[in-house]
Amino acid sequence: MGQKSLAEQAQILLRSRLCNPTFIFTLFSDSPDSNHSKLKFIISSSVTEACNNSVLLLGPRGCGKIAVLELVLDDLLKEYHDLITVIKLNGLLHSDDNCALKEIARQLCVEHQLMFSKMASFDDNSQFMVAMLRECGLAHKTVIFVLDEFDLFAQGKQRLLYSLLDAMQSVTSQAVVVGVSCRLDADQLLEKRVRSRFSHRKLLFLPPSREDLQRLLEHILLLPTDSSLPHDYVADFNAKLLNILAGEKFKEIIETLSNSDLTFNHMLRFLFSAVCYMDLESGFMSLDNFKAALSTIQRQPKLECLKDCSILELYILVCMKRLEVKEPDTYNFNSVMKEYKSIHDSFQTSDYYARNVCLRAFEHLLQCELISVVDNRGLSQSIEFRPVRLLISCHELNQGLKSHRSCPVILQKLVDREG
């Protein structure tokens, strides 16, 4: 049992590391030309020189933009404790101007221990924000606005962006606006008047290179020697792990993974699954954990769905495939039933069922999204008359039929004949 609780402790440690983005990105923060140092330089210089600034952090999702920003802000808060106020907004939540100003006012109140009233109107909140910015500027405090999902703020009239960037133009205010977006053309979305007030600084965040990835794997997975776990267990664990990481098969797994998606998030998801599959009895990670994690990442949902279809549902799919070849325009459930009947007449299959049974099977297929209706007219027509189409390709259907447990031979022949 002692071994098991050690393994559990190790697993909890690794899992908390994987769920904590700050831990992961501290690795890349020390080199001088990394985004971390550049960002830190931009913000700290505007704090010390009491000037306004704006910067955009761009990069695909899961490349650590917010994580690096959090690290920089933590460092700056430690250095210049009283000189910085941070306001965080998110485009998913606060894209509406009313919401955004309310949130800004709320966060300013929390920061400065003021009473916040939820009944304040839009004008009250905006006057409050302008007044606070002026006061902070006079007191030489910098307000840092973090706008997550920046492209969602750039929809509509961009009033919030304009008022923020405009307030920064006055001499008394000291503000930094940091926009974070996964769209690489986020600055093209800005209106002319907003763009002119925006300093065109952009920091690009990219997925890691192979060497960085290797360093990252070791950084995350190797247990620290100064933790509360016993020394020899840690040494064993690390030795076994380094052995696995250096092996050929592991490199192949990483290669397969990077071929589809190189971002940090993808890697972390893979590592999380691998750590979860760690065998708690032995207490060490093995290559099988990584292989199992790879198979959870590489899923083929349509194929799984096809394998779980009943035989009648497979018949309906094959009928639809044949109809798509014959009349590519549109077809509905009635035409599928005609095709079904013609197959039964020509081949005398044993699986000929009544219309209401086929309709239910048809509805099952709609539910698991192997087929879908084409029009958006809603519920005005009954399901038998609405045009439908297949959502899987011929190749996928073929694969599904081949890997199905008990597919009738006739269906395979029918599909092969067409394809």
Partner 1 sequence: MGEEESPQITRRTTRASSSNPNLNSAAETVLHNCNSQPLTHNDLVYGDEPISFDDLICSFPGRRIQILELLQLLGPLNSPVIPLFIYGGACRGKTSTVLQIFRHLNRPFVYSSCLTCYSPRILFESILNQLLLHRKHEGNGYSSAKRCERPSEFVNLLREALGNIINSLKGNMGKSNSKKLVGQAKGQIIYLIFDNLELVRDWEKSSNILPFLFMLYDIMKMPEVGLIFISNTSPDTYYFNTGYTEPVPLYFPEYTEDDLRQILMRNQCNPKLYSSFLDVLLRPFSRITRRVDELSTAFPALFKKYCEPLSDLGIFPNEKMKRMLFSHLQPHIAPSLNEIFRVEAGHNKDKAKGKGNARKAEGVSEASDEVEFHMSTSAKYLLISAFLASRNPATLDASLFDSTGGSDNRKRKRK
Residues forming the site for partner 1 (CB under 8 A) = 8, 11-12, 15-16, 18-20, 61-62, 66, 90, 92-94, 99, 102-103, 106, 115-119, 149, 151-152, 182-183, 265, 268-269, 272-273, 276-277, 280, 296, 299, 301-302, 304-305, 307-308, 310-312, 351, 353-354, 356-357, 360-361, 364, 367-369, 379-380, 405
Q: Least distance to partner 1 from the beta carbon of 196, Å? A: 26
Q: Residue 118 carries which side chain, given as an amino acid letter? A: K
d(CA 245, CA 251): 7
In the complex with partner 1, which residue's Cβ is closer, 234 or 306?
Answer: 306
d(CA 244, CA 134): 58
Token digits for 111?
A: 């920061």
List beta partners, residue 86: 144
Nearer to partner 1, 169 or 348 (CB): 348
**Closer residue to partner 1 in complex, CB, 68/361:** 361
Shortest spacing between CB 77 and partner 1, in angstroms: 16
Taking the complex as a whole, how short is the minimal distance between the CB of residue 34 and partner 1, in angstroms?
22
* Residue number with CB closer to partner 1 (38 or 364): 364
User: How far apart are alpha carbons 419 and 412 in whole angstroms?
Assistant: 11
Distances (CA, A) of 7 to 23, 85, 91, 282, 395: 21, 42, 41, 8, 45
- In sequence order, what DSSP letters do the residues of 158-176 get, joined into one string? -HHHHHHHHHTTSTT--EE
Shortest spacing between CB 66 and partner 1, in angstroms: 8
* Rounded least distance, CB 360 to partner 1, Å: 5
Count CB atoms within 10 A of the CB of residue 118. Answer: 7
DSSP percent split of the chain into helix, strand, coil, nearest 5:
60, 10, 30
Beta strand spans in 354-405 (E): 371-373, 388-390
Backbone angles phi, psi at 88, to 5 degrees: -115, 125
Helix (H/G/I), strand (E/B), else coil: 381: coil
Query: Rounded CA gap, 350 and 359, in Å?
Result: 18
Q: Considering beta carbons, is residue 129 or 168 the nearer one to partner 1? A: 129
Q: Is 205 exposed, middle or buried (0-12, 13-18, 19+ CB in 10 A)?
A: buried
Nearer to partner 1, 213 or 391 (CB): 391
Least spacing, CB of residue 336 vs partner 1, in Å: 16
CB of 138 to partner 1, least distance (A): 27
Q: Which is nearer to partner 1, 93 or 235 (CB)?
A: 93
* AA letter at 354: A
Q: Based on CB atoms, which residue is closest to partner 1, 52 or 181? A: 181
Residue appearing with tokens 């099977």: 361
Q: Which is nearer to partner 1, 325 or 357 (CB)?
A: 357
What distances in angstroms separate CA 367 from CA 55, 267, 309, 316, one per listed residue? 46, 32, 12, 14
Q: How far is the CB of 100 from partner 1 (least distance, A)?
A: 8
Provide the H-helix boundaries in 225-277.
231-246, 248-260, 264-276
Q: How far is the CB of 182 from partner 1 (least distance, A)?
A: 6
* Residue closer to partner 1 (CB basis): 11 or 286: 11
Q: How crowded is residue 9: how many other Cβ atoms within 10 Å of its Cβ? A: 16
Q: Which two tokens stand for residue 371?
A: 């087929």
Nearest-approach distance from CB 297 to partner 1, in angstroms? 9
Encoded amino acid at 272, one letter:
F
